[in-house]
Amino acid sequence: MELPFRFRSFRAKLQTAFVSLGIVAVVVTNWQASSKASAALEQATLDRLAGIRQTRASQLEHYFQDLEEDVAALSADESTVSAIEGFREAWRELPGLKPASPDATALRALYEREFPQPLALGWYPDNPRALMLQSIFLAANPNPAGERGLLLEVKAGRYGTVHSRFHPTLQRYRSAFGFHDILLVLAPEGRVVYTVRKEIDLGTSLAIDPMRTTGLARAYRRALEHNSSQTVLEDYAPYAPSGPLPAAFAAAPIRRAGTAIGVLAIEVGIHEVNKVMTGGRDWRAEGLGETGQAYVVGPDGLLRSDLRQQIENPAAFYSRLAEARISPAIIERVRTNGTSVLTLPMVPALRGVPLLRSESSLHLNELRWTVVAEIESAEALEPVASLRRRTMTAAILVSVAFFTAAGLMAAAVTRPVLDLAACVRRLGAGERGVRLPEGSADEVGQLTDAFNRMSRDLQETTVSKKELEVLAGRLISAQEEERSRIARELHDDLTQRLAALAIEAGRLERFSSGENRAGLEALKRHIGMLATETHSLSRRLHPALLEDLGLAAAIEAECRAFVERGGPVVDTDIRAIPPTLSRNARLALYRIAQEALRNVQRHSGATEVSLELATARSGITLRIHDNGAGFDRGGPGWRPGIGLASMEERARLLGGSFEVRSRPAGGTLIEVTLPLGSTDEQTANSPR
């Protein structure tokens, strides 16, 4: 995979490698440590929450178990049995109150002032005796609401006497155990003949609305259904006599000689459950930190105890309810009632953050509650976050240290490497005798020694490109001079001797007869053929025709000679040749054409050959094409012959280009282009 960026120096690579290794090591270590620490801390937090949840559940179970036992014991107590019997008789003897009487008018005014909603819902009593009781204990009570149970002595005939006898005991019992109220209900008619707190349920009937659907009425009916004195529990539900706060009830039958003559009901407010679930509001001391809490949820998903946030900071709590998209009507009801019980469902997280939570069912006979203990994950895992921050700080410091160390090390390593690169560039530019100062005995020092030896060997064994060009020019010039010398000797000496020999043979032929005459005739014929071949060889070695008649005539003559030597007819296309073309250029083009035709005859086996010589702005171009065997220049073992090498060298010395295109069984094309400025001065540096 190709990187999206490229390193331009070994130093950058080394620094990046060091820093990357350091960061990877720190990150892997951090990940390992934080992952294990996070898992361990999360498990420890869940264990702590489970312990708190178990403690809360155990406290609630004990509370309700004690409540059941207390209700059962109180309902079986002889004083309670005597109280229900006394209140039964007192109720029967209690005079009724006329609805139009002044006392009844005062009671209605009290309802309108203190209980407008219950009044609208039909809680105002229509029974004359109930009107009498509420008029005495509510309208005529000198104590304020919530403290009307302090009234002990009343003028109500037998009812006042019974009340004065039993009320102090039941009131002390309620205060000692923290009950909201204690009620005595006659059976089987279901009449509430006594309450400690003296609320608007006093004197009402559980058999008619609106009392018939209350939790008290359900607890009463269930208590009478039991054949024993077992206590029944009724879950929290709205109860108008207690105002906006929900109420739960524990009830047990009151029996005389095995017959239920009434029911003892204990009204349990939310305060006792809140007290248990908040741990006395000392959350931090119990290991719940700043965000932890424990609460109870009912089978309907609604809370049975208030949340910590509502208790500590109500304004922020209501804002978070709105952020959690809780219905505005529910939020207003919670705000008005001052409690979330039976109103607010259990939400995942009011702050919109993850939670660690532990929950379990509460083991009560009739209450299907769930106890929940939770804390925000961020707070629980804060030590891990702190560890990660410290590790990241260490990672930054380690990265800086690694970067600095890598920079120093890279500088020590790259300095000799850069010096070596500079010397290599000087050596590549043709400078000889380049040397590096001797360094250390490490790998860089060994590389320095190897470079110095190579430079010394190159200085002793190689020549420069310019020197090679000069040598090549001299070789070609010497070759042409040697060809001219041999051609002159063949023309001036050998050809004349052969002519003289032919003349002598002709003279002897005239004086001979028979076989001698035939032999001399054959000898004269062979001498003539040898003279012709010698003349042709002399012409090829030194083309006088090139100097006498020009390049076009010389090439055409070479094409005719190619045909005479057995080659196919050459399709020749020679266009105008500029007269300013230098002698060296004309000679090079002629020699290239000559060598190319010789190669066609020797190697290609071609049946068609074409030669084109044309002039353009870019220069003069010679193209020679055949349909012969061709060759593969990229094939294994292929090497250019001396002919191709000499043609290419001639073109290069004159500043031209040389190209060969060929393929097996596809023929060969040789193309040479020489610049029109190829004058004799261009080859002046090529000694003859």
Whether the pLDDT of residue 463 is over 70: the answer is no
**DSSP letters of 421-481?**
HHHHHHHHTT--S-------SSHHHHHHHHHHHHHHHHHHH---HHHHHHHHHHHHHHHHH
CA 102 distance to own-chain centroid: 82
Mean pLDDT over each residue of the chain, to the nearest integer:
81
pLDDT of residue 672: 93
Instruction: Give 311-361 pLDDT, tens digit per residue.
Output: 888 988 888 888 888 888 988 998 988 898 998 887 665 666 788 888 888
Give the full edge-to-edge strand order of the sheet including 370-376. Answer: 293-297, 370-376, 355-361
d(C-alpha 325, C-alpha 279), whole Å: 29
Query: Which region holds residue 18: left if phi is over 0, alpha if psi is between -120 and 50, else beta?
Result: alpha
Q: Where residue 577 falls among pLDDT bands split at 50, 70, 90?
A: confident
- The DSSP symbol for 568 reads P
Whether the pLDDT of residue 587 is over 50: the answer is yes
Instruction: Give 31-41 pLDDT, tens digit per residue.
Output: 676 677 778 87
CA 138 distance to own-chain centroid: 71
Report strand pairing: 293-297 vs 370-376.
Answer: antiparallel
- The DSSP symbol for 144 reads P
User: Whole-model pTM?
Assistant: 0.57
CA 611 distance to own-chain centroid: 68
pLDDT of residue 681: 43
384 membership: H or E segment, kind and range: helix 382-428
Whether the pLDDT of residue 626 is over 90: the answer is yes
What are the structure tokens assigned to 165, written together? 């006898």
d(C-alpha 514, C-alpha 533), whole Å: 29
What are the structure tokens assigned to 598, written together? 């010789």
d(C-alpha 82, C-alpha 149), whole Å: 20
Q: Where residue 140 falls among pLDDT bands split at 50, 70, 90?
A: very high
What are the structure tokens assigned to 458, written together? 């190159």
Instruction: Give 335-344 pLDDT, tens digit per residue.
Output: 988 898 998 8
Say which residues have a Cβ less than 8 Å from residue 102's Cβ, sequence separation at least 6. none
Tell me which residue has tokens 């350091």: 22
315-321 contact pairs (CB < 8 A, 24+): 317/350, 320/350, 320/351, 321/350
Say which residues have a Cβ less than 8 Å from residue 101's Cβ, sequence separation at least 6. none
Of 601, 578, 603, 604, the residue nearest 589 (C-alpha)? 578
Cβ atoms < 10 Å from Cβ of 39: 11
Mean pLDDT of 501-519: 69
List Cα–Cα distances, 396 to 28, 35, 344, 385, in angstroms. Answer: 14, 20, 48, 16
Burial of 100 (0-12, 13-18, 19+ CB in 10 A): exposed
Torsion, Cα of 426, 428, 430, 434 (10° steps): 40
pLDDT of residue 541: 57
- Residue 473 contacts residue 686 (beta carbons within 8 Å): yes
Q: Where residue 617 falls among pLDDT bands split at 50, 70, 90?
A: confident
Instruction: Give 534-571 pLDDT, tens digit per residue.
Output: 656 555 555 666 777 788 888 888 898 888 888 899 99
What are the structure tokens assigned to 393, written together? 């700080």
CA 225 distance to own-chain centroid: 66
Instruction: Give 265-287 pLDDT, tens digit per residue.
Output: 999 998 888 988 888 788 887 77
CA 681 distance to own-chain centroid: 70
- Residue 654 contacts residue 682 (beta carbons within 8 Å): yes
